[in-house]
Amino acid sequence: MESMINHELYKVFYLAAKTGSLTQAAKALYITQPSVSHAIKQLEDSFGITLFYRNSKGVALTQEGAILYSYIEQSNILISLAEKKMAELKNLEAGELKIGGSDSLFKHYLLPYLEKYHKQYPFIGLSLIHGTTPEVITYLKEGRIDLGVVRLPIVDPQLEVKEGIELQDCFVAGAHFAELKGKVLTLEQLMEYPIILFSRNSRARMAITELFHDYGYDIKPEIEVGSVDLLIEFAKKGLGISYVTREFLSKELDEGTLFEIQLDVHLPPSRVGVMTMRNVPLSSAAKTFVEYIR
């Protein structure tokens, strides 16, 4: 028996067995009856056994043919289910979307898009994987996520990056440091106060460290935290001056529970980006979500 049998032969066999007629099988496949007979003969020769015998109504399966039919029927059911699943995935009626990013970007940037997406495609499962920028890049390359949302710049030939909104980081303080409100500080003066920064692996932390270094200073935080919420809360409690993204604390600035520290140097803005693997096709769920994001 050949190691590989043309699957078209199985299709002919299945329809002939199902209809009990070579003529009906030929009509269903839009081929001639002799072509059906030839296909069945090829299959029988490959196995070295007889699969059909003729009767008054057409053809019927031999015992061996009935065993083969039971397997082919299961295969057809699975193929039909697979085709249905593919259609569901294409139409976003099934599937999963896995996104990597930081807590702050999920909460303050992605949340409106996730809400809109979930309302329109409720059958797509959402999985948010938390991590720093280096971790998210690793998750993406390992195939653990479909896309990553991080701060730019990202320079990696393996990655495709779509730019999103611009963010502005700033130093903020609470009532405990009210004497600084309205004053313009130098970087040297700022460093006389307790500074609270995000963990050293974050993009924002690396950016502010580099900025201070460019001016000849080594910024050393008194407190390091792992979330934007803690940066905000610690500043409100008067534990120090936090370096936070302005767009993430508009409520506190409007209410006056925090105020922005004015500096005599310009803090450059940053931009959010959506990363995907270059030359790797996105699932329908991921592709649609990327199109949502501005």
User: What is the DSSP annotation of the chain?
Assistant: --SS--HHHHHHHHHHHHHT-HHHHHHHHTS-HHHHHHHHHHHHHHHTS--EEEETTEEEE-HHHHHHHHHHHHHHHHHHHHHHHHHHHHTTSS-EEEEEE-HHHIIIIIHHHHHHHHHH-TTSEEEEEE--HHHHHHHHHTTS-SEEEEESP---TTEEEEEEEEE-EEEEE-GGGGGGTT-EE-HHHHTTS-EEEE-TTSHHHHHHHHHHHHTT-----SEEES-HHHHHHHHHTTS-EEEEEGGG-HHHHHHTSSEEPEESS----EEEEEEEETT-PPPHHHHHHHHH--
Task: Give strand pairing partners of 194.
Answer: none
Domain termination residue (choose one: 56, 90, 124)? 90
pLDDT tens track, the chain, 294 positions = 444 468 889 999 999 999 999 999 999 999 999 999 999 999 999 999 999 999 988 999 999 999 999 999 988 888 887 888 788 788 788 889 999 998 889 988 999 999 999 999 999 999 999 988 889 999 999 999 999 999 998 989 999 999 989 999 999 999 999 999 999 999 999 999 999 999 877 888 888 999 999 999 999 999 999 889 999 999 999 999 999 999 999 899 999 999 999 999 999 999 999 999 998 889 899 999 998 887
Tell me, yes or no, whether 1 lies in a domain: no
Closest-CA residue to 267 (of 233, 249, 244): 244
Q: Are 255 and 174 in contact (CB under 8 A)?
A: no
Nearest to 100 by CA among 133, 130, 126: 130
For residues 241 and 125, membership in a common domain is answered with no
Give me 112's structure tokens. 């409106």
Tokens 């001056």 -> residue: 241
Neighbours of 33 (CB within 10 A): 14
Number of Cβ within 10 Å of residue 204's Cβ equals 22
CA distances from 108 to 64, 101, 167 (A): 65, 12, 11
Q: Is residue 192 part of a domain?
A: yes
In a domain, 74, yes or no: yes
Residue 62 backbone class (left: φ over 0; alpha: ψ -120 to 50; beta: rest) = beta
Domain membership flag for residue 2: no
Domain end, chosen from 31, 55, 90, is at 90
Q: Does some domain include residue 236?
A: yes
* 252 occurs within a structural domain: yes
Residue 281 lies in a domain: yes
| Domain co-membership, 189 together with 241 | yes
Q: What is the CA radius of gyration of the chain?
A: 32
Q: Do 227 and 109 fall within a single domain?
A: no
On whether both 148 and 184 belong to a single domain, the answer is: no
Query: Is 143 within the bounds of a domain?
Result: yes
**Domain enclosing residue 107, as ranges:** 96-164+272-292
214 and 281 co-located in one domain? no
58 and 111 fall within a common domain: no
Q: Which residues contact 17 (CB under 8 A, 6 or more apart)?
A: 52, 59, 61, 65, 69, 72
Are both 24 and 149 inside the same structural domain?
no
Please check whether residues 249 and 176 belong to one and the same domain. Answer: yes
Q: What is the pTM of this model?
A: 0.69
Does 285 lie in the same domain as 158?
A: yes
**Number of domains into which the chain is organized:** 3
CATH number, residue 112: 3.40.190.10
Whether 151 and 104 map to the same domain: the answer is: yes
Structure tokens at 231: 């940066």
Report how far residue 112's alpha carbon sits from residue 118's, in angstroms, rounded to the nearest whole number: 10
In this structure, are 241 and 180 located in the same domain?
Answer: yes
Do 219 and 195 touch, CB atoms closer than 8 A? yes
The CA distance from 279 to 261, in Å, is: 44
Same domain, 134 and 12: no
- Assign residue 29 the CATH number of its domain: 1.10.10.10
Tokens of 139: 């998750």
